[in-house]
Homo-oligomer: A and B are copies of this chain.
Amino acid sequence: MRRAPAEPVDARAVAAAREALTGAAPLVQCITNSVVQTITANALLAAGAAPAMVDNPHEAAAFAAVASAVLVNVGTPTDDTARAMRLAAAAAAQHGTPWVLDPVAVGALGFRTRLAGELLEHRPAVVRGNASEVLALAGAGGGGREVDSTAAREDAAEAAGALGMSTGAAVAVPGDVDVVTDGTRTVRVSGGDPLLTRTTGAGCALGAVSAATTAAVVLPLLAAVAAHVHVGLAAEVAAEVCGGPGSFAIAWLDALDAVGPDAVRAGARLA
């Protein structure tokens, strides 16, 4: 439905997506974990989007119907936010609002694993998870320690493809080289910096930037790839000027703003 398989996913398309994001200034509803709300909102603002953390069950569905895109991150679910997630995902699906699922620690913890399984039925445009999370979502077992994946990356790439085929989502799995696939096509994105993994919420914010980009371009695969290139290049800029993990996060926010279409076209390393 949101697929246009012939559209190229190359440096030029990624640069156009970066430009479209700023032009659209999308309103992104975030139902995300309590640890990363601030950096998520600031990353969206730096990238040119407008965040709105509407995460209570009274308002979540109504807002998802009018938002440009929705991010659902199951990192710290409460009974109330879990209800808000279900309502927002259902409303997004009903109203054609693209939404992104970030299945933090799914597979390792029961409550959120069941929750993510239910959410998946509302067909996210993008799923962003590490190897063990994607294996768990794809029903291929997995599990393991939160955030830091222990599953083999190649198994995960296969599971990501299967998950993309069965749900229609673009599935993104981070690594030394990030893998983004919709089951039909697979794009490998090089870049980024290890300091991203020492900044709480950097990965979650990548999910949010992916959501923002789904509001600006038609093809979810392109949206996810463009977000990964943008976030990764910003990390490279930040790593050069920072003095440690604290100042890295700040420089990365600065760079999310500064890295525009030209930098994205010149810097994208796709395979």
Contacts and interface: CB of A to CB of B under 8 A. Distances in A.
Interface of A: 27, 33-39, 41-42, 45-46, 50-56, 58-59, 62-63, 75-80, 105, 109-112, 145-148, 198-201, 242-247, 249-258
Contacts of A147: 50, 52
Given A200-B51, A246-B254, A56 B78 contact: yes
A175 to B, nearest CB: 18
A42 B245 contact: yes
Given A36-B38, A53-B76, A54-B146, 11 more contacts: A38-B38, A38-B201, A46-B245, A54-B76, A62-B109, A63-B109, A198-B257, A244-B254, A244-B258, A246-B252, A247-B253
Contacts of A112: 59
A199 B51 CA distance: 11
Contacts of A76: 53-56
B246 A250 contact: yes
List the 8 shortest-distance A-B pairs measured between CB atoms, nearest first.
Answer: A246-B253, A244-B254, A41-B200, A58-B111, A246-B250, A35-B37, A246-B254, A59-B109
A34 B34 CA distance: 7
Contacts of A201: 38, 41
Contacts of A59: 109-112
A195 to B, nearest CB: 10
Given A34-B53, A37-B35, A79-B80, A42 B246 contact: yes
B37 A53 contact: no
B244 A253 contact: yes
Contacts of A33: 53
A27 to B, nearest CB: 6
A26 to B, nearest CB: 11
25 contacts: A27-B145, A35-B41, A38-B38, A38-B201, A41-B201, A42-B245, A46-B245, A46-B246, A50-B145, A50-B148, A52-B105, A52-B146, A53-B75, A54-B105, A54-B109, A56-B76, A59-B110, A198-B257, A244-B254, A244-B257, A246-B250, A246-B253, A246-B254, A247-B251, A247-B254
